[in-house]
Chain A
């Protein structure tokens, strides 16, 4: 029998994402991929996968999934959510699954992920990954063009997700003591490419105001509410390429930060670009969250990028094995971890 995960309830917007579809932007095909690459990597490493494996990106409200395989191993990282494992017969008696910890589920069990807080997104990785054909080298879903993922769209109730692995590997579970996901005080930007399309007042407004993430945001762009930015010479440019994190400003003066599903080219001036190290933190921001920007130069952004890469590498090194019968989270709280948790690898 083919191992499957059945979608009982889809959540608000659950899509398969990996680290993106690179190399096709000149054909107008967006990169897509996880909004929060940090949590994606953590979930995958905990599940025993390579860090960029395709996993379910859960936005705002999680799905309910039924296990139709001998057993599966899952791990979740991202926004705080109630994650319950329910037995098929008795859906009322749930066992809490800890985030940042892998767990094995048996056939017939149901995994229910509730509403997210603290981050707009979370990632559920399954050991071995999903058995879905990559499109143009990636599992990432780009729903506007029906590309990638499961039939190019977010999950729906009744969907069947085929899994690569027949059953969970026989091994110890893994946990990550912590993962820093709190929003930074500032989102750092490099001015340009079209900062010369804005008045000095417009640039100052961007760097000295506090913006609020609008509910109209999506995977393509984060719309910000707050003071309008003053253009200096119109708001139409001859279209040029866009970078991840580009802050484009249409005629109403309100910034839109381009995210994973950004179109490859655009015709609005881009006042600044969020640095790569801060893109995961940006992707985690919920509607209503406050954002303040701070300008840095390219060298500072590159130093931040190196630090970010080192932080990502440190995730793998921080993962520890958990003895099945031990409630590791509780032990951690009471500082009894030493000797009870084996370092992984």
Chain B
């Protein structure tokens, strides 16, 4: 069962003790759970914030994921026992916090010509394609993590009626910008890549753009709403994106807890 954002703080009693998992001698994983869960995610992001604020010498980088924080470090500077000793006090009174909470409105075109799996998703969920698009764009998503591809955001949670398992026949090539759903999650393919999720739309927004100083737009902890656009606007925005003149900006800061 998915924990809703406003109940994050109320579910502390079900919290399991975090575990340290060695990942060789250059990384340590702090695991808070084994599910996709907003409360677990908020603990991961809270720890990432604390570790970052401490600026511990020897820590190279942090990778927050659904359920754990992977800490990459330099064993020439920091031993794993030392790292554990520095982390333990940060864990004892850790409160869930989802971070900065930037809200992004991402244009999404659900036109059939850009949505190869929309009809099938509609059939399998007992909805019309229009209803799938409406429900997909009615929710504020939480970016749990970025991975798989540069800039690929794992976002959730989907309205329960849209949840489907991954495709049985993954595609070898998914076009960049494809908006996809699978299980309880939605994502945007930032690059052409193989992929097994259902493609229900396309965004013209460049979520991976090497011409930018910061080539990746979405980061773990961000919030996303898809804004439905017609095909004509998609084409116009895509042309702007190609010319480098379409820049997505976060719309507002959110209160902690992630309510839009």
Please list the residues of chain A having a beta carbon within 8 angstroms of any beta carbon in chain B. Answer: 22-30, 135-136, 144-147, 189-190, 192-194, 237-246, 263-266, 270, 273-276, 298, 301-302, 304-306, 309
Contacts and interface: CB of A to CB of B under 8 A. Distances in A.
Question: Looking at B21, B68, B79, B208, which has the most chain A CB atoms within 10 Å of its CB?
Answer: B21
Across the A-B interface, the 8 shortest Cβ-Cβ residue pairs: A241-B70, A265-B147, A273-B24, A243-B23, A193-B21, A243-B27, A301-B25, A27-B216
A145 B27 contact: no
How would you classify the secondary structure of chain A's contact residues: helix, strand, loop or mixed?
mixed
B23 A263 contact: no
B79 A243 contact: no
Contact of B145 (A29, A239, A298, A302): A239
A263 B147 contact: yes
Interface residues of B, number: 47
A144 to B, nearest CB: 8
B27 to A, nearest CB: 4
28 contacts: A26-B61, A26-B62, A26-B63, A27-B146, A27-B216, A28-B150, A28-B151, A29-B216, A145-B191, A147-B210, A192-B22, A193-B23, A237-B34, A239-B148, A240-B67, A240-B70, A263-B149, A265-B63, A265-B147, A273-B23, A273-B24, A276-B25, A298-B81, A302-B80, A304-B25, A305-B75, A305-B76, A309-B76
B128 interface: no
Contacts of B220: 26
A3 to B, nearest CB: 26
Contacts of B148: 28, 239, 263, 265
A25 B24 contact: no
B64 interface: yes
B24 A302 contact: no
Nearest to A306: B76
B226 interface: no
A201 to B, nearest CB: 21
Nearest to B65: A240
Contacts of B21: 192-194
Interface of B: 21-27, 29, 31, 34-36, 60-70, 72, 75-76, 79-81, 145-152, 154, 190-191, 193, 208, 210, 215-216, 219-220
A258 to B, nearest CB: 10
Nearest to B27: A243
A152 to B, nearest CB: 8
Nearest to B190: A28
B147 A28 contact: yes
A192 B149 contact: no
Nearest to A245: B24
Given A238-B36, A240-B29, 6 more contacts: A26-B146, A192-B23, A239-B147, A241-B65, A298-B80, A302-B80
Nearest to B29: A193
A302 B66 contact: no
Contact of B210 (A135, A240, A244, A305): A135
Contact of B31 (A24, A240, A265): A240
Nearest to B214: A27
B67 A302 contact: no
Contacts of A264: 63, 147
A66 to B, nearest CB: 30
Given A238-B66, A240-B70, A241-B63, A302 B147 contact: no
A123 to B, nearest CB: 22
B61 A244 contact: no
A192 B23 CA distance: 6
A270 B23 contact: yes
